[in-house]
Amino acid sequence: MPTTLLDIGDTRLALPEFLVLDASIVLELAADPAQPHPHHILAVNFLNRLRQFARQGVVKPILPLLAFEECYFKLCWRFLDPLSKSAKLPWKFYYKKNPAVIHDIHPILSQFYQALLAFPIEITEPEDTAVYPKGREPLLATRIGDFISRFAVLPKDATILSEAERLGVYTVATLDSDWSRADGFTVIAPR
């Protein structure tokens, strides 16, 4: 079954009961004002609409743990990159030489996490998708490889889509155009 593509900017779009979110869209809650995403306004408008439905209990937004980790990673990079440029070092080397800088990042990460909880967005844990497969259901590790090949997506995207499938949620929201190849899913994204 081909991918169903829905426009994230369509305010008449009916939202499903469960919706898996990608890091690309969730990061817009903590957008870098100096470098906004090209679809920042669309994403923020969508997230504001989603927040209303989530708070009413009509829609349950789900953020897989891997996407949550990606958000934290990108927030760390955003904080460390300017410091590393001043030190004329790649940011990872800057961090390795100055590990205490992570203490300066922690409040940013905590504030982001609290924003997710207040949204509310549920962050799934590994045990949420660790149900042993019955019958013909493939293991997540197998499905990830299948999705990389079938959808021509990178491993993180394949993992998030595999987790969505395991949760029985086939509607996802993203700013990533690669997800338009996720056959069998409904993808809410910019057009």
Task: Tell me the pLDDT tens digit for each residue of 138-150.
Answer: 788 889 999 999 9
Domain that holds residue 97: 4-189
Residue 38's SS3 state is coil
Residue 98's SS3 state is coil
pLDDT surpassing 90 at residue 137: no
Task: Tell me the pLDDT tens digit for each residue of 52-85.
Answer: 999 999 999 999 999 999 999 999 999 999 999 9
Residue 82's SS3 state is helix
Which CATH number does the domain housing residue 64 bear? 3.40.50.1010
Q: In the Cβ-directed half-sphere of 73, how many Cα atoms lie within 13 Å? A: 10
Measured distance CA(67)–CA(73) in Å, rounded:
10
Q: Residue 131: which pLDDT band, with cuts at 50, 70 and 90? A: low
Domain count, the chain: 1
